[in-house]
Chains A and B, each alone.
Chain A
């Protein structure tokens, strides 16, 4: 909690300006010296030259330079559907995410699960990535931590249809991101086993092949 003692009031107006400040020229010279120093910091630019240089996703504990790296555990990019220990889709088709979604971009068709440990599973699970606002509320709503947002941000396609990700595509995203973003809480439902071991098919970010 913020107490009165924590508040620092910057009260410039109480202070009269000094003679040098009212003369302006010394202060202007000071300002110019600051800007010229920044002008020559050629290798310390903050802009990332995007297509050639990409921010590299890292595990939270490996983060060293937040300008050049993305915290893979926290970024809200493309969705994925998690697999459980038996490589099945972890989703139980409860519709919590579709209900929570403010953009109404999740469409689920539920069916009776072929497996004994749950009642339903998603026959069809589509996310319209163009409609999605990447707020992360689906991830928060999910009771079995099956849907998660990943660190992938360069999402491109040539048609609207292509940007509607179905179940297979979302599982693919899981396969290629799980090594940098492991399943959050694989034991939460008791039936999901211990999660998928690290070391699935991997490929570097940005490799579109």
Chain B
């Protein structure tokens, strides 16, 4: 019986419970922190009132009771299913979107190999599942998320919802391409799809975090993940000003909450994904306890903490960007994907392939980083050269629209006192 609890299956089950509980808490509190950070960035306070039933006098605990109140509110709201919706799909959509966001977490390597009883006999992976195709699984599951948006938009029988769903689909399809190419950089460099192996390949002698060798690929992946999670500046699928609420316009109560929670779950999954691919997963250089050979239970906890901190930092970055950059227009979105990110990430993938061909991964860290940076510099120089040569404006609209009003070419008449603006 004791032996059973030392098997991978039992350990995975236990880890699953822990991760799901931690995820739910993180999701609830990332909504709270999103609002707090929004407030701070806009010189406000954000929600700072809801405490815990005045158990501690007049102290509000900085509003930390807010997620509980919000959750309670969602449960108590009236659940409205509008007439003439496609009922099965309407009910299925929030389930799909939430489930898909959640199960991606199964392959995130939390703490490497753990030796549960100290003699090396029962080594388990601190990971719910450790398949060879972990990366493909994560990609496939992540792309499924758009089904929820599309189905919800379609089933709602509302034109704004449908617009939201269509936008989500188009955006997802466009951004899958550069995302796949940016991930290809990592896959080509490390030569495997197993996430645990990708983490291990970023440590040890002669190896370093992928972000140091391929910084542009990191930026491309980060950008596409913003699009993937429907976060500002890529939140066209739920653009409030244009589409009421986007694909979840017709949803209320807990069904809406599922869409809402899925968005944040998606962010957490994607942050973990980026951290594993480019930021060394649970690894920090030079710190004992975080290296490949450390297999004690304490080291596992430490590794989970480190990965957690990286995830939280990335989540903060998501929120920081959300309250900085306004939403793209749809043609700008497509232009960025197809004319910007796709060519750049193609260049980066070729660069990674060339580096493997020339056996650069076998070199020292310094050589690797210098060559990687040089390659990135070449790609960057090409981008800047193209920008200089084309002198194109940012949007197609400005070029194609007839000039009107004040911008029209000056008609012959009395000279303006302002002179001609140039």
Chain A residues engaging chain B, CB cutoff 8 angstroms:
4-5, 9, 11, 13-14, 16-17, 19, 21-25, 28, 31-32, 34-36, 38-42, 44-47, 49
Cβ–Cβ contact B422 & A4, under 8 A: no
Cβ–Cβ contact A17 & B393, under 8 A: yes
Cβ–Cβ contact A16 & B43, under 8 A: no
Question: How many B residues touch A, CB cutoff 8 Å?
Answer: 31
Chain A residues with Cβ below 8 Å from B398 are 13
Chain B residues with Cβ below 8 Å from A40 are 40
Query: Contact partner of A22 among B37, B387, B421, CB < 8 A?
Result: B387
Chain B residues with Cβ below 8 Å from A45 are 43-45
Query: Contact partner of A32 among B42, B324, B336, B416, CB < 8 A?
Result: B324
B74 on the A face (CB < 8 A): no
Query: Contact partner of A16 among B320, B321, B391, B421, CB < 8 A?
Result: B391
Given known pairs A4-B417, A35-B324, the reply for A23 and B387 (CB within 8 Å) is yes
Cβ–Cβ contact A34 & B407, under 8 A: no
B219 on the A face (CB < 8 A): yes
Per-residue CB contact flags for chain B residues 214-241 toward chain A (1 = under 8 Å, else 0) read: 0000010000000000000000000000
Cβ–Cβ contact A19 & B387, under 8 A: yes
- In the assembled complex, the Cα of A49 lies from the Cα of B387 at a distance in Å of 49
Chain A residues with Cβ below 8 Å from B323 are 35
Chain B residues with Cβ below 8 Å from A28 are 321, 324-325
Q: Give the interface centre of A32, A34, A39, A41 by most chain B CB atoms within 10 Å.
A: A39
Cβ–Cβ contact B219 & A25, under 8 A: yes
Query: Contact partner of B43 among A22, A25, A44, A49, CB < 8 A?
Result: A44
Question: Taking the nearest CB of chain A, how far is it from the CB of B420, in angstroms?
Answer: 10
Question: Taking the nearest CB of chain A, how far is it from the CB of B383, in angstroms?
Answer: 7
- In the assembled complex, the Cα of A24 lies from the Cα of B333 at a distance in Å of 13
Cβ–Cβ contact A38 & B388, under 8 A: no
Chain B residues with Cβ below 8 Å from A49 are 45
Query: Contact partner of A39 among B37, B416, B417, CB < 8 A?
Result: B37
Nearest to B42 among chain A residues (CB) is: A38
Cβ–Cβ contact A34 & B324, under 8 A: yes
Cβ–Cβ contact B44 & A22, under 8 A: no
Nearest to B383 among chain A residues (CB) is: A23
Cβ–Cβ contact A39 & B40, under 8 A: yes
- In the assembled complex, the Cα of A4 lies from the Cα of B415 at a distance in Å of 12
Given known pairs A17-B393, A31-B324, A38-B43, the reply for A5 and B418 (CB within 8 Å) is yes
Chain A residues with Cβ below 8 Å from B422 are 14
Nearest to A44 among chain B residues (CB) is: B43
Cβ–Cβ contact B320 & A13, under 8 A: no
16 A-B pairs, CB-CB below 8 angstroms?
A5-B417, A16-B391, A19-B384, A21-B394, A28-B321, A28-B324, A31-B324, A36-B41, A39-B41, A41-B43, A42-B40, A44-B43, A45-B45, A46-B43, A46-B44, A47-B44
B406 on the A face (CB < 8 A): yes
- Pick the 4 closest A-B CB pairs, nearest first: A35-B324, A39-B40, A31-B324, A35-B41
Can you name 19 extra interface pairs (CB under 8 A) apart from A28-B324, A44-B43? A4-B417, A5-B417, A5-B418, A9-B406, A11-B406, A13-B407, A14-B407, A14-B421, A17-B394, A28-B325, A32-B320, A32-B321, A35-B41, A35-B320, A35-B323, A36-B320, A39-B40, A46-B43, A47-B45
Per-residue CB contact flags for chain B residues 251-289 toward chain A (1 = under 8 Å, else 0) read: 000000000000000000000000000000000000000
Nearest to A22 among chain B residues (CB) is: B387
Nearest to A39 among chain B residues (CB) is: B40
- In the assembled complex, the Cα of A88 lies from the Cα of B421 at a distance in Å of 66
- In the assembled complex, the Cα of A159 lies from the Cα of B250 at a distance in Å of 38
Q: Give the interface centre of A31, A34, A35, A46 by most chain B CB atoms within 10 Å.
A: A35
Cβ–Cβ contact B394 & A22, under 8 A: yes
- In the assembled complex, the Cα of A24 lies from the Cα of B219 at a distance in Å of 12
Chain B residues with Cβ below 8 Å from A23 are 383-384, 387
Per-residue CB contact flags for chain B residues 396-422 toward chain A (1 = under 8 Å, else 0) read: 001000000011000000001110011
Chain B residues with Cβ below 8 Å from A19 are 384, 387-388
- In the assembled complex, the Cα of A17 lies from the Cα of B45 at a distance in Å of 36
Nearest to A27 among chain B residues (CB) is: B325
- In the assembled complex, the Cα of A196 lies from the Cα of B157 at a distance in Å of 68
Chain B residues with Cβ below 8 Å from A42 are 40
Q: Which of B10-65 contact A (CB under 8 A)?
A: 37, 39-45
